[in-house]
Chains A and B, each alone.
Chain A
């Protein structure tokens, strides 16, 4: 299995959605409910028969809507397509039934619309506009960026604008991310070793980080609190942090993994916590304090110091915390392909590995209190 996402619109219950990837059996989406107090996991299953799931993402506005990229095999051709679905109503807000009778609970997703990509190629991923009304999504197909408008309560998807990446050879986007800043008008994409930033209003490239990683760039994420900061990870086993205003040099480089890093994720509220998952079967939680929005820890003063990276020698100075690896999680036996923070509890995260194991973990309590206090 490869596809994991938190239910973005859900801010009370902790839920994750996992998509399976199987060629032989019917594919499914599992809705995992994590009960915090009792440490119980509940699972509901939805059928997704159209094909194996490579990417899944949920709408930020409507709890029941999600989009998947899946493989459709026909004869000797494989196409990756994308579609928008709706969950059955009763499963939207979680259920706390006992896990025993999960075997008969398979229900189907209601197909809302396809994202037609016959003209564009294989879909790599689908991104929802963050903090939007769930009407706009962007999909990356081969070397095209497609912006869709969902109309008639998502029953129809209309292509509103698109951009194509010109260049030599077969350019293919590997992943992308929608920036939550600048009024949600910027996205970043990765193709081969380059990271590009685009403006969605004009569909033009804004910035370009060449040779971001020695080999393929696998994933990107934006810092939710700092406008211009972006993290990328790639096959050279490194995680790099960039300031998009100065793309020649990464602000910081992490080299904790020993094989390809597939995923990098900032914590939604405390951006010094970075989660990375790699094919060396490890999940690493790092504390990147020096480039976060609170390098001096939480300041409870009247004059709030906003992001300071220089050492301003004022009276109320605390020692800047050191960047460090907080913990390495080695519960997985196989490559970890996805890591995600929960959208409901900022201290909880899930990681998914190739063999289908989903592990839910928490930030160590000591650090949590240290950050909060």
Chain B
């Protein structure tokens, strides 16, 4: 007892006391019936109880580290304290420590207040640090705890694994939660490699823990990593979209910038090249970043999610395909947008540029990107279905077609508006004998030449019907050769207006009908033909609404000849231009009170002079 007391005193070595006591106990029990032994036994009991108390008190002390804790508990177990209680104490004590660690981690996060929309300050440490701390401190301790628990309470009644697992599960859920919150704070794209390393470390440590406690949330952990990866990919997509819009803004600015006189503005091909290459470059960079997630040395890359679904769904579909689709939709939006409502419409050059971009995408870029993606992220055979390349190409082509059609419409409307105003505001009855071509016609020719140059920068020439040798010298006759109403006998039937057109109708049967808004092909002459058709048709309709005097008709004659001289070379088929101008002349003659056409030589003279 004396020695016992000495050893059992606070600060001494209770371990030796225990051993001594343990040894002595057997003997003491045997000789209990002897009063002297009993006294010794009682005393030693008292000492041991005291020791137990002290140990218990020590248990509750928070400053115990796990090793000491384990020792304590071990000793208490040897003292035959009830295991459940000890179990509880052990767990709660250890739990308190772990909670403290978690709290320290949480302290780094700003309060999770969903209603606060103010910008939270960036976290003090980066994600790698956070995960490090979390992993080493928390997960490490949890591992130790689990191990020691097992070793301590193995086989003892009332202290089964279940309790441990429940305990561990709650803690790990909290840990995951904190980690997610921290991940959510990752603003912008930061450094993906850092994120990957952090996730990797997390995963490795978790794996160690999971070996001990399989039920402590294996799926939750993997899901967390997967979610983080997906989130990052989505962010990349959004960044790509913003980047593209930024590039578009630059292009628009370049197009609209006032140029100092004498200096040529940026050519359209250059703008297109820069736009295409920067977008492609950005896309490749993003893919390289994302590939970090599936690198060989990353632990979680071997998870089935990353091998299959990530590659196919997240990267290919979610990033690449989604981006291409979005690009086509945005480009299309310029054509379909509510430009008529007075909103600032896209400048025609932009439409042209986007049309060419989409066409290039359809031809080459889409397949290139898809092959690249497939190389870097090999798809599984049993994975979910992916969008085939041709489908994307079709979308791109559709967008290009729509943009080009819209371009033709816009430009055609602009020229047509000029022509319309010129016809509507002029006094056709009282005009004087024409001496020169009207200024508006010259402007029309200039504008169409400018459009020709603009389109020629981006699209190739296209096929044009071979011109007949006298195309530029073709007489612009007011009456086409097969009509001469003067030949009709005066005694025609009263329904005269119908008959004068009989011959021209027959003539029309043999010439092709001109389709005004036929879909435009991707070459220059087709585009220009479309624009010219729209403008001339408008001229026709406007002329039909007016009543002309003799000189009005002659003016129309002069203008028409001038247009024909200069516009035939832009159209795919000069007969189209010829036909439309013939109709203009015929309608003008029909609307004239006193149709006396000018001499053809005089017309030519005026046009040459003008």
Task: Tell me the complex Cα distance, A260–B538, Å.
Answer: 9
The interface stretch among A22-30, A56-64, A195-203, A286-294 is: A22-30
Contact A356 B498 (CB under 8 A): yes
* Segment of B110-118, B130-138, B373-381, B512-520 engaged in the interface with chain A: B512-520
Of the stretches A69-77, A154-162, A320-328, the one at the interface is: A69-77
Interface string of B531-562 (1 = CB under 8 A from A): 00010010001001001010000000000000
Q: Give chain B nearest CB distance to A256 CB in angstroms.
A: 11
Contact A356 B537 (CB under 8 A): no
Determine whether the beta carbon of B516 is less than 8 Å from that of A333.
no
Q: A28–B494 contact, CB under 8 A?
A: yes
Beta-carbon contact of A103 and B498 below 8 Å: no
Query: For B516, what are the chain A residues with a Cβ–Cβ distance below 8 Å?
Result: 258-259, 280
Instruction: Say how far A132's CB is from chain B's closest CB, in angstroms.
Output: 31
Determine whether B592 belongs to the interface, using a CB cutoff of 8 Å to chain A.
Answer: yes
Residues of B within 8 A of A334 (CB): 508
- On whether the beta carbons of A333 and B340 are closer than 8 Å, the reply is no
Contacts of B267 in A (CB 8 A): none
CB distance from A314 to the nearest CB of B (A): 36
User: Please, which residue of chain B has its CB at the minimum distance from the CB of A237?
Assistant: B517
Q: Cβ of B591 < 8 Å from any Cβ of A?
A: yes
Q: Which chain B residue lies CB-closest to A22? A: B497
Q: Are A23 and B496 in contact (CB under 8 A)?
A: no
Is A354 engaged at the interface, CB distance under 8 Å to the other chain? yes
Q: Out of B413, B509, B515, B547, which one reaches A71, CB within 8 Å?
A: B547
CB pair A77–B429 under 8 Å, yes or no, is: yes
* Proximity bits, B142-180, A CB within 8 Å = 1, else 0: 000000000000000000000000000000000000000
Q: How far is the CB of A27 from chain B (nearest CB, A)?
A: 8
Q: Are B541 and A279 in contact (CB under 8 A)?
A: yes
Set B342, B430, B509, B513: member contacting A76, Cβ < 8 A: B430
Within 8 Å CB of B590, what residues of A? 22-23
Interface membership of A236, Cβ < 8 A: yes
Within 410-443 of B, Cβ neighbours of A (below 8 Å) are at: 413, 417, 427, 429-430
* B537–A214 CB distance below 8 A: no
Quick check: A21 and B497 within 8 Å, CB to CB?
Answer: yes
A45 on the B face (CB < 8 A): yes
A215 nearest in chain B by CB position:
B413
Q: Which of B430, B495, B592 touches A30 (beta carbons < 8 Å)? A: B495
Q: Is the CB of A333 within 8 A of B505?
A: yes
- Contact B591 A23, beta carbon cutoff 8 Å: yes
Q: A279-B537, A355-B501 are in contact. Are A25 and B341 (CB under 8 A)?
A: no
Q: Is the CB of A280 within 8 A of B517?
A: yes
Residue in B516, B587, B591 whose Cβ sees the most chain A Cβ within 10 Å: B516
With both beta carbons as reference points, the residue of chain B lying nearest to A257 in the complex is identified as: B517
How far, in angstroms, from A52 to B495 measured CA to CA in the complex? 13
Residues of A within 8 A of B587 (CB): 354
What distance in Å separates the Cβ of B551 from its nearest Cβ neighbour in chain A?
11
Q: Is A123 an interface residue (CB 8 A)?
A: no
B537 touches A25 (CB 8 A): no
Structural contact, A22 and B429, CB atoms closer than 8 A: no
Name the A residues within 8 Å of B430 (CB-CB).
76
State the Cβ distance, B409 to closest chain A Cβ, in Å: 9
Report chain B residues within 8 Å CB of A77.
429
Asked if A338 is at the interface (CB within 8 A of a chain B CB), the reply is no
Contact pick for B341, options A1, A103, A211, A280, CB 8 Å: A211
Check: A5 CB closer than 8 A to any chain B CB.
no
Render A254-290 as a binary contact track against B, CB cut-off 8 A, 1 for contact: 0000111000000000000000000111000000000
A335 on the B face (CB < 8 A): yes
Given the known A-B contacts A73-B547, A76-B549, A237-B517, are A23 and B593 also in contact in the complex, defined by CB atoms under 8 Å? yes
Q: Considering the complex, which residues of chain B in the window 76-110 have a beta carbon less than 8 Å from any beta carbon of chain A?
A: none
**A:26-41 near B, CB below 8 Å:** 26, 28, 30
Query: How far apart are the CA atoms of A211 and B345 in the complex, in Å?
Result: 15
How far does the Cβ of A104 sit from chain B's closest Cβ, in whole Å? 9
Q: How far is the CA of A1 from the CA of B417 in the complex (A)?
A: 25
Does B36 sit within 8 A of A, measured CB to CB? no
Report the count of interface residues on B (CB-CB < 8 A): 36
Taking a contact as CB atoms under 8 Å apart, the answer to whether A78 and B497 are in contact is: no
- Does B468 interact with chain A (Cβ within 8 Å)? no
Q: How far is the CA of A39 from the CA of B341 in the complex (A)?
A: 47
Give complex CA distance A45, B497 in Å. 13
CA distance A265 to B537 in the complex (A): 24
Partner of B515, one of A78, A258, A357: A258
Bound form: Cα–Cα A28–B430 in Å: 27
Contacts of A22 in B (CB 8 A): 496-497, 590
Instruction: Compute how far the CA of A21 lies from the CA of B518 in the bound complex, rounded to whole angstroms.
Output: 31
Whole-angstrom CA separation of A258 from B530 in the bound complex: 11
Give the docked Cα–Cα distance between A20 and B547 (Å): 15
Q: Chain B: which residue is nearest A279 at the CB level?
A: B541
Determine whether the beta carbon of B340 is less than 8 Å from that of A211.
Answer: yes
Contact of A213 with B by CB under 8 A: yes
Q: In angstroms, how far is the closest chain A Cβ from the Cβ of B429?
A: 4
Give the residue name and chain of the A residue nearest to B504 (CB). Answer: A355
**Known pairs A258-B516, A260-B541, A281-B513; A78 contacts B547 (CB<8 A):** yes
Complex CA–CA separation, A30 to B495 (angstroms): 9
| Docked complex: A65-117 residues within 8 A CB-CB of B | 71, 73, 76-78, 103, 106
B364 on interface, CB distance cutoff 8 Å: no
The distance in angstroms between the C-alpha atoms of A279 and B540, with both chains bound, is: 10
Q: Does B125 contact A (CB under 8 A)?
A: no
> In the assembled complex, how far is the CB of residue A151 from the closest CB belonging to chain B, in whole angstroms?
33
User: Which listed residue (B341, B496, B517) contacts A259, Cβ 8 A?
Assistant: B517
Task: Answer yes or no: B493 CB below 8 A from chain A CBs.
Answer: yes
* Interface pair A73/B413, CB less than 8 Å apart: no
CB of A236 within 8 A of CB of B547, answer no
Task: Tell whether, in the assembled complex, residue A236 and residue B340 are in contact, meaning their CB atoms are under 8 Å apart.
Answer: yes
- Chain B neighbourhood of A23, CB < 8 A: 547, 590-593
A258 to B549 alpha-carbon distance, docked (Å):
31
Q: When the two chains form their complex, are residues A45 and B494 in contact, meaning their CB atoms are under 8 A apart? A: yes
With contacts A73-B547, A103-B493, A259-B537 taken as known, whether A213 is within 8 angstroms of B340 at the C-beta atoms is: yes
Q: Which residue of A lies closest to B430 (CB)?
A: A76
The docked-state distance in angstroms from the alpha carbon of A210 to that of B97 is: 72
Question: Please, which residues of chain B bring their CB within 8 A of the CB of A25?
Answer: 496-497
Min CB distance, A28 to chain B, in Å? 6
B332 to chain A, nearest CB (A): 15
CB-CB under 8 A from B339, the residues of chain A are 214
Chain B 486-508 interface mask (CB, 8 Å, partner A; 1/0): 00000001111110010011001
Instruction: Compute how far the CA of A26 lies from the CA of B498 in the bound complex, rounded to whole angstroms.
Output: 12
Whether A354 contacts B494 by the Cβ 8 Å rule is: no
- The listed residue (A211, A237, A259) touching B342 by CB distance below 8 A is A211
A258 touches B497 (CB 8 A): no
CA–CA, A356 and B413, complex, Å: 28
Complex contacts, A215 vs chain B, CB 8 Å: 413, 417
Residues facing B in A337-373 (CB within 8 A) are 354-357
Q: Which residues does chain A contribute within 8 Å of B340, judged by CB atoms?
A: 211, 213-214, 236
Cα distance A23–B496 in the bound complex, in angstroms: 11
A45 and B495 form a contact (CB under 8 A): yes
Q: With a CB–CB cut-off of 8 A, which chain B residues contact A21?
A: 497
Chain A residue numbers with a CB within 8 Å of B518 are 258
Compute how far the CA of A354 lies from the CA of B429 in the bound complex, rounded to whole angstroms. Answer: 22
Within 8 A of B (CB), among A302-342: 333-335
Q: Which residues of B contact A30 (CB under 8 A)?
A: 495
Given A73-B547, A236-B340, are A258 and B517 neighbors across the interface (CB < 8 Å)? yes
A-B pairs, top 10 by smallest CB distance, nearest first, are A258-B517, A214-B340, A76-B430, A356-B498, A22-B497, A76-B429, A355-B501, A25-B496, A259-B516, A258-B516
Could you name 27 residue pairs across A and B whose Cβ atoms are closer than 8 Å?
A: A1-B497, A22-B497, A23-B591, A23-B592, A28-B494, A30-B495, A47-B494, A73-B547, A73-B593, A76-B430, A78-B429, A78-B547, A211-B341, A211-B342, A213-B340, A214-B339, A237-B517, A258-B518, A259-B516, A259-B517, A259-B534, A260-B541, A280-B515, A333-B508, A354-B544, A356-B497, A356-B498
List 7 additional contacts besides A25-B497, A258-B518, A280-B517; criterion CB under 8 Å: A21-B497, A22-B497, A23-B592, A211-B340, A237-B517, A258-B517, A354-B587
